[in-house]
Amino acid sequence: MRIEIDNFDNFDNFDNYRKSCREFLQREIVPEHQKWEENGLVERSFWEKLGQSGLLGISVSPEFGGLGKNDYRFAVILTEELIKASVTVPGIVAHNDIVASYIFALGNKEQKKRWLPELCSGKRVAAIAMTEPSGGSNTADIKTVAKRQGDYYLVNGGKTYITNGINADLIVIAVKTKEGQQGQGISLLAIERGMPGFTRGEPLKKIGWNGSDTAELFFDDCKVPITNLIGRENLGNYYFMSAMPRERLSISAVAVASAEHILQNTLEYVKERTAFNQTIGSFQYNRFILAQLDTEVKIARIYLDNSVDLFNQGLFSLVDAARIKWWTTELQMKVADRCLQLHGGLGYMRDSIAGKNWLNSRAQTIYGGTSEVLQEIISKSIGL
């Protein structure tokens, strides 16, 4: 059952939804979160509480346990409140915006009934596994192989840097099912906890997003029923391209919310901290830096809102996603770095808002397509 007090099922009002997200996070998640950060792993209760309050499967149909909110602004609001509460974000993005949306869009009726209710309730945790030790951004060069053997596939290979890799009960992996030209013959399979031949490495130690567990996954003649094939065989790369705009938009939402959060925190700090008998925010150099950041962050907000509007209309392209993901994540890194400098020694402390944001920001220009790969996409779109 969902937590009745939050009444998430009847949200058509964005302000009410935001208020309930904020109250829920402060009451149920924030008191435990520091412990999870130190352990490098959120407890299962984290997912169960999110599910009980309707924060998982936002866009999934109520038929399968979701809220059925197709307006992407609901997902953005949740991201913003997670950032403000300093709660780990990547795992929720992977679970909600990637895996649940993949299954809801591509899964058959049986798969939706089998997996989505438990993903929406938090009884199962989801992960997406594409990156391999030999490469990340180029999904066309996948080396993990799945060979058809009667009514199942035999999967061999490995994945790395997988968000939710330790907690995940359902992992959508990209495998090669047919040899051919680069980018062809890729399929999506759902790996479930306990399948023979599936093992995990020890949790990987990151420099940021410590509460979001990350792991290596190994497949040694892993037997996967053919009923766990998502979509059609050999069309995985097409599915990636179709789903990529949503994933990159979600990362951009994290970037803008993070930049706004650290900038607001820094403005408050520089108005109080003094040096040479004046507040550090009153020095001309610092004022100009903050004026520039304030302007750029406001531009990013307008850019994000416009992109969400295009996404809601079905007009948000792969190139649009590359542009906003590249620009907002690079801006997030810039804001985090400048603001840490303005905090001085305090900013270098791991537990400070400035320090945490700086560490968390560094991954943003890497996952979901590196800045370099995104600029390749953009340059090709303008005929270069």
Note whether 145 and 158 are within 8 A (CB): no
Instruction: For residues 363 and 370, give the distance between their C-alpha atoms in angstroms, rounded to a whole number.
Output: 9
Buried b (16+ CB within 10 A) or exposed e, 214-250: bbbbbbeebebeeebbbbebebbbebbeebbbbbbbb
Instruction: For residues 310 and 282, give the distance between their C-alpha atoms in angstroms, rounded to a whole number.
Output: 40
Instruction: For residues 321 and 251, give the distance between their C-alpha atoms in angstroms, rounded to a whole number.
Output: 10
Answer positive or negative: Cα dihedral of 31, 35, 38, 41: negative
Long-range contacts of residues 193-202, Cβ cutoff 8 Å, at least 24 apart: 193/168, 193/169, 195/222, 195/223, 195/224, 196/221, 196/222, 196/223, 197/154, 197/155, 197/221, 197/222, 197/223, 198/222, 200/165, 200/166
133-136-139-142 Cα dihedral, nearest 10 degrees: -10
Q: Can 247 be counted among the known catalytic residues?
A: yes
Instruction: For residues 153 and 9, give the distance between their C-alpha atoms in angstroms, rounded to a whole number.
Output: 39
Give the active site residue among 118, 233, 247, 260: 247
Note whether 382 and 294 are within 8 A (CB): no
Instruction: For residues 268 and 315, give the distance between their C-alpha atoms in angstroms, rounded to a whole number.
Output: 38
Spatial CB neighbours of 331, under 8 Å, sequence gap ≥ 6: 255, 259, 296, 297, 300
The CA radius of gyration of the chain, in Å to the nearest whole number, is 21
Catalytic (active-site) positions: 247
